[in-house]
Amino acid sequence: MFKQIDARGLSCPQPVIVAKKAIDNGEFPIEVLVETTTSLENIKRMAEKASCVVEVENVGDEFKVTLKK
């Protein structure tokens, strides 16, 4: 089972906050859907500091960020 977070439409820093909460709760793997490169980069930076493996997939004009331990 994985955790999916739809952070599209949320302004920074909200996508990072919801992703961090899922990481803290150990809900792996985590898929985060975002629509801006700013949110993407901020989530990647935070997840890498939390020792997560980060995979990014372009889905049209949006991004699917998968976080794994």
Q: What is the full per-residue pLDDT of the chain (69 aa) written as tens digits?
A: 789 999 999 998 999 999 999 999 999 999 999 999 999 999 999 999 999 999 999 999 999 999 999
Sheet of strand 3-6: strand arrangement: 3-6, 30-34, 62-68, 53-59
The Cα 25–Cα 62 span in angstroms is 25
- Helix (H) / strand (E) element for 29: namely none
pLDDT number for residue 1: 74
Considering the entire predicted model, what is its pTM? 0.94
Could you give the 3-state DSSP secondary structure of residue 40? helix
In the numeric block, which tokens belong to residue 34? 């975002």
pLDDT number for residue 20: 97
pLDDT number for residue 44: 98
